[in-house]
């Protein structure tokens, strides 16, 4: 059994008080009462907001905090543990925020059991804010904020010693399972969405399935820490009642890779083609300008193939996730939205061709 709470109803005042002490919150903080409510739409983890009432003066203590726990759904929980998703997120909060300029929540506690399935994260509540919504899309201004944040992750971690940490290395067993299960995922995706996703876009999914060796054995032209699921549902806009523009959450899929994977993923399956097409060049130029400002000179021509290949990450994520997390109505809409945007980008810019060129010259 974990020696920390793994569900919202297991959290008590004394446990939160102890985490505040460890986090260095000043004063003799005593919680008189707490209440919680579920928040978020995550499919592999459950998140709650705790409202806290204090005894006496606790001016330095937060009135609310957020906490994240394993999914209540056994299928999603098993998938997350099998692919070390919970472990990655906990270790991200333990080791990475101090290295990067990207805005992420401050963690008061980040704990995980040896089984990789039981964990808890206790972090600052960034509300009031506007959670990003994959199905509603975003404004150009919000997309620009996200692009700037991506550079604040990729530039500071480029070739950083952190990238050699054990917890960021691919798990050979998990990678082999992912490769072996992918055709089954594609078959499930085809059966489930074949009548809804446009045939030319489903053909992109099928083509990626036919080129799995190219995809799984691809080489990265540069190495940074990547978010891995860089889309609107994992972004908070206008945080702390509008005092800051954006923050990034949900680090379960962080990995070592090419930063353009996040960018291709975001502009493809993240914001959708209606916003991407008229602003694609400008957003790529913004990313290059931000990377250059942070000491990593880049031009659009230099990143183009990596960007196009990055869109395929959106295809593979939509296909695999749809098959192996709990199915919900919103999930179906989400995965279709992701696949449609990613496949449209991949089709327009010949992402598979870019992948083949990369492997020929690797």
Partnered with residue 195 across adjacent β-strands are none
Q: What are phi and psi of 302, to 5 degrees?
A: -70, -30
Place of tokens 């394993």: 70
Percentage of the chain beyond pLDDT 70 is: 98
Q: Which residue has the higher pLDDT, 328 or 168?
A: 168
- The pLDDT tens digits of the residues spanning 229-279 come to 999 999 999 999 999 999 999 999 999 999 999 999 999 999 999 999 999
Mean pLDDT of the region 316-325: 89
Q: What is the 3-state secondary structure (H, E, C) of the chain?
A: CCCCCCCHHHCCHHHHHHHHHHHCCCCCCCEEEEEEEEECCCCCEEEEEEEEEECCCCCCCCCEEEEEEECCCHHHHHHHHHCCHHHHHHHHHHHCHHHCCCCCCCEEEEEECCCCCCEEEEEECCCCCEECCCCCCCCHHHHHHHHHHHHHHHHHHCCCHHHHCHHHCCCHHHHHHHHHHHHHHHHHHHHHHCCCCCHHHHHHHHHHHHCHHHHHCCCCCCCEEECCCCCHHHEEEEHHHHCEEEEECCCCCCEEECCHHHHHHHHHHHCCHHHHHHHHHHHHHHHHHHHHHCCCCCCHHHHHHHHHHHHHHHHHHHHHHHHHCCCCHHHHHHHHHHHHHHHHHHHHHCHHHHHHHHHHCC
Lowest mean pLDDT: which of 151-165, 188-202, 209-223?
Answer: 209-223
What are the start and end residues of each CATH 3.30.200.20 domain in the chain?
8-124
- pLDDT greater than 90 at residue 286: yes
Q: Does domain 130-360 sit in CATH 1.10.287? A: no
CB-CB contact of 23 with 109 (8 Å): yes
What pTM, to 2 d.p., does this model score?
0.93
What is the pLDDT, as a whole number, of residue 41?
Answer: 63
Q: How confident is the model at residue 42 (pLDDT cuts 50, 70, 90)?
A: low
Mean per-residue pLDDT, 144-167: 97
Q: Give CATH 3.90.1200 domain extents, the chain.
A: 130-360
Superfamily of the domain at 8-124: Phosphorylase Kinase; domain 1 (3.30.200.20)
> 315-344 burial by CB neighbour count: b if 16+ within 10 A, else e?
bbbbbbbbbbbeeeeeeeebbbbbbbbbbb
What is the distance between the alpha carbons of residues 144 and 267, in angstroms, rounded to a whole number?
11
* Residue 322 in tokens: 């749809």
pLDDT value for 84: 87
Q: pLDDT value at position 239? A: 98
Determine the angle formed by the axes of helices 329-349 and 300-324, rounding to 10 degrees.
150
Residue 39, pLDDT > 80, answer yes
Residue 223, judged by CB atoms within 10 A of its CB (0-12, 13-18, 19+), counts as middle
């Amino acid at each position: 059994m974990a020696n920390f709470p793994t569900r919202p109803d297991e959290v008590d005042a004394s446990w939160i008080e102890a985490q505040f002490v460890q986090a260095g919150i000043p004063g003799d903080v005593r919680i008189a009462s707490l209440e919680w409510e579920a928040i978020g739409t995550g499919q592999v983890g459950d998140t709650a907001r705790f409202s806290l009432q204090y005894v006496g003066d606790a001016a330095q203590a937060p009135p609310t905090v957020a906490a994240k726990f394993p999914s209540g759904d056994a299928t999603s929980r098993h998938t997350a543990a099998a692919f070390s998703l919970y472990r990655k997120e906990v270790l991200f909060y333990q080791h990475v925020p101090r290295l990067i300029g990207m805005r992420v929540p401050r963690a008061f506690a980040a704990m995980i059991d040896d089984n990789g399935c039981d964990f808890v994260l206790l972090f600052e509540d960034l509300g009031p804010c506007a959670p990003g919504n994959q199905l509603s899309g975003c404004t150009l201004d919000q997309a620009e904020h996200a692009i700037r944040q991506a550079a604040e992750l990729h530039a500071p971690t480029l070739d950083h010693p952190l990238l050699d940490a054990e917890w960021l290395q691919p798990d050979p067993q998990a990678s082999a399972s992912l490769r072996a299960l992918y055709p089954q995922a594609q078959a499930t995706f085809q059966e489930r969405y074949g009548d809804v996703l446009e045939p030319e876009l489903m053909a992109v999914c099928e083509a990626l399935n036919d080129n799995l060796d190219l995809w799984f054995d691809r080489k990265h032209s540069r190495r940074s820490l990547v978010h891995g699921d860089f889309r609107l549902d994992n972004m908070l806009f206008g945080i702390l009642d509008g005092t800051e523009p954006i923050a990034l959450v949900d680090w379960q899929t962080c990995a070592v890779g090419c930063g353009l994977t996040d960018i291709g993923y975001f502009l493809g399956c993240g914001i959708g083609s209606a916003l991407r097409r008229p602003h694609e060049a400008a957003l790529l130029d913004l990313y290059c300008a931000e990377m250059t400002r942070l000491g990593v000179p880049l031009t659009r021509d230099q990143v183009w193939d990596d960007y196009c290949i990055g869109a395929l990450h959106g295809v593979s994520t939509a296909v695999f996730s749809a098959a192996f997390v709990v199915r919900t109505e919103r999930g179906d809409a989400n995965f279709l939205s992701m696949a449609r945007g990613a496949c449209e980008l991949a089709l327009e810019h010949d992402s598979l061709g870019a992948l083949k060129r990369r492997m020929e010259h690797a």
